[in-house]
Amino acid sequence: MYGDSFESYLVGIAVPNEGFIELAKQNGIEGSMEELCQNEELKKLLYRNMREKGKEAGLYGFEQISKIYLEPVSFLKKGCMTNTFKI
């Protein structure tokens, strides 16, 4: 998650795993990981699922993401993060 004090919403930045590809196939969407990450229909589906899970967990609206960005390449592979998720 990323929050900017100049904005009124949170952005979720995620690197999908193999389950994401399965979710796409179950919904009749195919393509490379890069293509899937850009697919608006799939982003909306993932967003709705995340919002539902957040509600089940008792999160308030401002604690949940409002926009999502899907990155096809792991931050580890880009050299931006360690294995323990430290920048």
Domains of the chain, by residue range, sit at 2-78
Give the single-character DSSP code of 74: -
Contact of 10 with 60, CB cutoff 8 Å: no
User: Other CB atoms closer than 10 Å to residue 42's CB: what's the count?
Assistant: 20
Q: What is the pLDDT of residues 22-41, one digit of tens each?
A: 989 999 999 999 999 999 99
Q: Does the pLDDT of residue 44 top 70, yes or no?
A: yes
Res 87 pLDDT > 70: no
